[in-house]
Chains A and B, each alone.
Chain A
Amino acid sequence: NAGVTQTPKFQVLKTGQSMTLQCAQDMNHNSMYWYRQDPGMGLRLIYYSASEGTTDKGEVPNGYNVSRLNKREFSLRLESAAPSQTSVYFCASSALTDTGELFFGEGSRLTVL
């Protein structure tokens, strides 16, 4: 099993450009998440999807949109990138269990110039 796979691993954008981060999991998990990681601020939840067909805002949703394409895939879109969106983005998934352990992808480093 590959676990959680996200692409691309690195991306440089100019202010105002758009892009989509792709995420797929092969663990048959119901819930999927997008986090951003900034120095000194830990991991902050952008959006999550409790199950196929549902999405909800997290702590920092402004400037982002998401699509839960099917049970396996959850994409994050930046419509008009801003320098404040320079960050490392992690996709994660979890099963519908009591523990809720998150399995993370390898991360995508995005730089907005």
Chain B
Amino acid sequence: GENVEQHPSTLSVQEGDSAVIKCTYSDSASNYFPWYKQELGKRPQLIIDIRSNVGEKKDQRIAVTLNKTAKHFSLHITETQPEDSAVYFCAASVTSGSARQLTFGSGTQLTVLP
């Protein structure tokens, strides 16, 4: 099955700096790569995703890049703010039948210091 590794497990940045979280995946058939944000005590929520036919996608201060050859993808957050503090999960999936089975990374605790 798919295996997703995520680094770093914790990340502290000063407010206004950039943050980068990296993930690698093992299954070359994976074709969808979402990122979820989970605030303390809350449910995970999708913040951005990318498909395997796209190399980069941006949405305001967040961007995701994908390198299919190397099988890794990254989340970039610019101009970080205190409300960006949360746990971020990457994931990879292949459609199995009619359902997508997401395999998640182990998460990155991002702390934005004021």
Contacts and interface: CB of A to CB of B under 8 A. Distances in A.
Contact of B45 (A31, A48, A49, A104): A104
Contacts, number: 68
A106 B39 CA distance: 12
Contacts of B105: 42
Interface in B92-114: 93, 95-107
B16 to A, nearest CB: 29
> Interface size class for chain B?
20 to 34
A82 interface: no
A102 B45 CA distance: 8
Contacts of A101: 34, 46, 49
Given A44-B104, A101-B49, A104-B44, 18 more contacts: A30-B98, A40-B107, A42-B6, A42-B106, A43-B102, A45-B102, A49-B99, A51-B98, A59-B103, A90-B43, A94-B100, A100-B32, A100-B93, A100-B95, A100-B100, A101-B34, A102-B34, A105-B43
21 contacts: A31-B98, A31-B99, A40-B107, A42-B105, A42-B106, A43-B102, A44-B104, A45-B103, A50-B98, A58-B101, A90-B44, A94-B100, A96-B98, A99-B49, A100-B32, A100-B100, A101-B34, A102-B36, A104-B43, A104-B45, A107-B43
